[in-house]
């Protein structure tokens, strides 16, 4: 059996990062961080090393970079519950006001994956809704939802009148998602997501895929949500299985 090395060699930038973390702990959100040049001089290291440490801290959501203005201490992350609630309800549970910007709503022919998830044959009509989700006016996620066009007639029109998809499903179609499978993965932001979410291409994203069903087990939606990894911590309430 091999044993893991308890004290792996620490890269130089990591030492700088730990030092910066200690230093920024006492600073309040919004305060400016010294420039790369100042930090390099202060820590007797190169600007490249400082830059690498800062890139990590930005990716983790500790710092934010503002083009042309400098680097600042970030606002604390938002904790987001993982329940079978809507974005609107989850935001309210956190004390935020949710808002939605409809980016596009289109009727497509579902490919084998999307149609399959919705219990339809490949090529069946599917409504694809792309929305930007905001909490207290801050962009949090880009969400792409797929629903069966025949199960939800006039959805392309109705979604324009409702901020909340779940509210619309309940009021207009009498459908409530009761069970869901949620997949979580990480991915770098594409230029499109980055620009919609006000971040940089390649920034770490938390990607959630939700496949929900109603009380009869009929598929309701297949949704992919790209959340800014530097803004959100997901919290799941776990309980031990019955033995
Ligand atoms: C969350 C879920 C989505 C769901 C959405 C509905 O964001 N990940 O799967 O479609 O909530 O939210 P709302 O009713 O606010 O539109």
Place of tokens 């949500």: 225
pLDDT tens per residue across all 243 residues of the chain: 556 666 778 889 999 999 999 988 888 999 999 999 999 999 899 999 999 999 999 888 889 888 788 899 988 888 898 999 999 999 998 899 999 999 999 999 999 999 999 999 999 999 999 999 999 999 999 999 999 999 999 999 999 999 999 999 999 999 999 999 999 999 999 999 999 999 889 989 999 999 999 999 999 999 999 999 988 999 998 889 888
pLDDT of 177: 97
E strand residue ranges, the chain: 63-66, 70-73, 78-81, 98-109, 125-135, 138-148, 179-188, 204-213, 219-228, 232-235
The CA-atom distances, in angstroms, between 8 and each of 3, 4, 5, 11, 206 are 12, 9, 6, 9, 28
pLDDT of 25: 85
pLDDT of 1: 56
Sign of CA dihedral 67, 227, 112, 214: negative
Dihedrals phi, psi of 6, to nearest 5 degrees: -70, -25
Ligand 1 site, residue 227, Cβ cutoff 6 A: no
Ligand 1 site, residue 86, Cβ cutoff 6 A: yes
Task: Please give the distance, rounded to the nearest whole angstrom, from the Cα atom of residue 117 to the centre of ligand 1.
Answer: 17
| Residue owning the nearest CA to atom 4 of ligand 1 | 86
Ligand 1 site, residue 49, Cβ cutoff 6 A: no
Ligand 1 site, residue 221, Cβ cutoff 6 A: yes
Ligand 1 site, residue 144, Cβ cutoff 6 A: no
Query: What is the value of pTM for the model shown?
Result: 0.86
Ligand 1 site, residue 208, Cβ cutoff 6 A: yes
Task: Please give the distance, rounded to the nearest whole angstrom, from the Cα atom of residue 199 to the centre of ligand 1.
Answer: 22
Task: Please give the distance, rounded to the nearest whole angstrom, from the Cα atom of residue 86 to the centre of ligand 1.
Answer: 4
Q: Give the separation between CA 34 and CA 20, rounded to whole angstroms.
A: 10
């Amino acid at each position: 059996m091999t044993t893991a090395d308890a004290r792996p060699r620490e890269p130089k930038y990591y030492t700088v990062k730990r030092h910066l973390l200690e230093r920024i702990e006492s600073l309040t959100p919004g305060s400016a961080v010294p420039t790369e040049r100042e930090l390099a001089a202060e820590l007797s290291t190169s600007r490249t090393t400082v830059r690498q440490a800062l890139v990590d801290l930005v990716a983790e959501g500790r710092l934010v970079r503002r083009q042309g203005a400098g680097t600042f201490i970030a606002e604390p992350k938002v904790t987001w519950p993982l329940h079978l609630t809507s974005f609107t309800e989850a935001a309210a549970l956190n004390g935020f006001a949710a808002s939605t910007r409809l980016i596009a709503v289109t009727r497509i022919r579902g490919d084998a994956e999307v149609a399959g998830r919705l219990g339809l044959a490949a090529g069946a009509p599917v409504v694809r809704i792309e929305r930007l989700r905001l909490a207290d006016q801050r962009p949090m996620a880009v969400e792409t939802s797929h629903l069966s066009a025949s199960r939800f007639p006039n959805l392309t029109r109705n979604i324009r009148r409702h901020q909340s998809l779940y509210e619309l499903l309940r009021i207009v179609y009498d459908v409530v998602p009761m069970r869901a499978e949620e997949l979580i993965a990480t991915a770098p932001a594409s230029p499109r997501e980055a620009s919609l979410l006000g971040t940089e291409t390649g920034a770490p994203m938390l990607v959630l895929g939700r496949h929900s069903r109603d009380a009869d087990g009929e598929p309701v939606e297949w949704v992919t949500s790209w959340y800014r990894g530097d803004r959100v911590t997901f919290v799941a309430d776990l309980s031990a299985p019955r033995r």
